[in-house]
Amino acid sequence: ASLLPLTGPTAHPAPDNRLRDEKRAPPAQNRATSETQRSPEPTSSPQTTPKAAPTPVEDGVAIPSFSLAADESSDEDDEDRLPPPSFPALNSAQRTSSEPTQTGPSLMAPPPKPTVMGPPTRPSSSLMPPPPRIVPSNLRALPKPSDTMRVPTTGPLPNRRPPSSNGGLAPQPTGYPTVNTSNARGKVLLTPGHSPLDWANLQRSGKNLSGVSSLIRVTPAMLKHNNGRKGRPAWSSYQGKVYNITPYLPYHPGGEGELRRAAGKSGEKLFMETHPWVNWENMLGECLVGIMVSEEQTGSLEDMD
């Protein structure tokens, strides 16, 4: 109750209220003069619905009796003050500084709205400054992580051997790096015309690369016999399929010698140990001789049925 009179009469100078009351109607004048003095007027003032409330309010305020009286007085004050200061004043200054005074007017319809409005404006202003600050800092920080990312690309890859000078990106449909480079260290130098692209073109040429007219059943003895020696073709099996690796020998990026290690037997283990990422079925599709069968099973696959 003690705070209420401060906000009412002090915050809003008496002359303002008086002027307003004078403009509106004569009863207002009576209020201004007798607000502090007259206590019984509230009963008489209620006759005019809007103005009746305000007069008793101030009277109630002057009397430090109960909160109920204070509430009524605050309501009356608000009605008189509504036009100029009501919403802005309540939102910004009043609530932050003095909440108890507003608790009285909170009973009125307008207060709840400003209560909601007040908080968002302040946090929004506080939130706004950080984003511009953070943005530039982040932009500057980005190049640093990118630099860190560059390190692994420039350095050797875990599963890759040192890349060739050419990089072998352009001519290869399969994505394998070219090997015909003199700068490469420990890299097998393939003879000209034996790049992976050349091999791909050869497979598409329609030439018979398998050495057989049709797929055949290959026994272990047959596989062992065709080991690439003494003019015999080099066969190698992978997952039960037998391929004639003879035409591929000069194209093998790992070198002919390495590939020959798999001749006459299953090269699957060596293959998977060296480059499990290579798709041999695509690389040697045209070199397919047949499938592995038991020793008793021989002849053409067409005859099996």
Chain residues binding ligand HEM by CB under 6 A are: 161, 176-177, 187-188, 236, 245, 252-254, 258-259, 261-262, 267, 270-271, 274-275, 278, 280, 283-284
CB 222 within 8 A of CB 264: no
* Distance from C-alpha of 205 to C-alpha of 197, rounded to nearest angstrom: 12
CB 214 within 8 A of CB 300: yes
* Distance from C-alpha of 2 to C-alpha of 9, rounded to nearest angstrom: 12
CB 51 within 8 A of CB 58: no
3-state DSSP assignment of residue 218: strand
CB 80 within 8 A of CB 50: no
CB of 179 to ligand HEM, least distance (A): 6
Which is nearer to ligand HEM, 12 or 261 (by Cβ)?
Answer: 261
Q: Residue 221: beta bridge partners?
A: none
Which is nearer to ligand HEM, 17 or 178 (by Cβ)?
Answer: 178
Question: In terms of C-beta density within 10 A (0-12 exposed, 13-18 middle, 19 or more buried), how is residue 146 classed?
Answer: exposed
The two tokens of residue 68 are 């109920």
Which is nearer to ligand HEM, 94 or 226 (by Cβ)?
Answer: 226
CB of 302 to ligand HEM, least distance (A): 26
CB of 185 to ligand HEM, least distance (A): 10
Helix boundaries (H) for the chain: 3-5, 14-24, 26-34, 41-44, 49-52, 54-62, 67-81, 86-89, 95-97, 99-103, 112-127, 130-141, 143-154, 196-204, 220-225, 256-260, 268-274, 280-283, 301-304
CB of 251 to ligand HEM, least distance (A): 8
* Distance from C-alpha of 112 to C-alpha of 133, rounded to nearest angstrom: 34
Which is nearer to ligand HEM, 13 or 156 (by Cβ)?
Answer: 156
CB of 249 to ligand HEM, least distance (A): 9
* Distance from C-alpha of 212 to C-alpha of 205, rounded to nearest angstrom: 16
CB 31 within 8 A of CB 8: no
In this chain, which residue has its C-beta nearest to ligand HEM?
A: 254
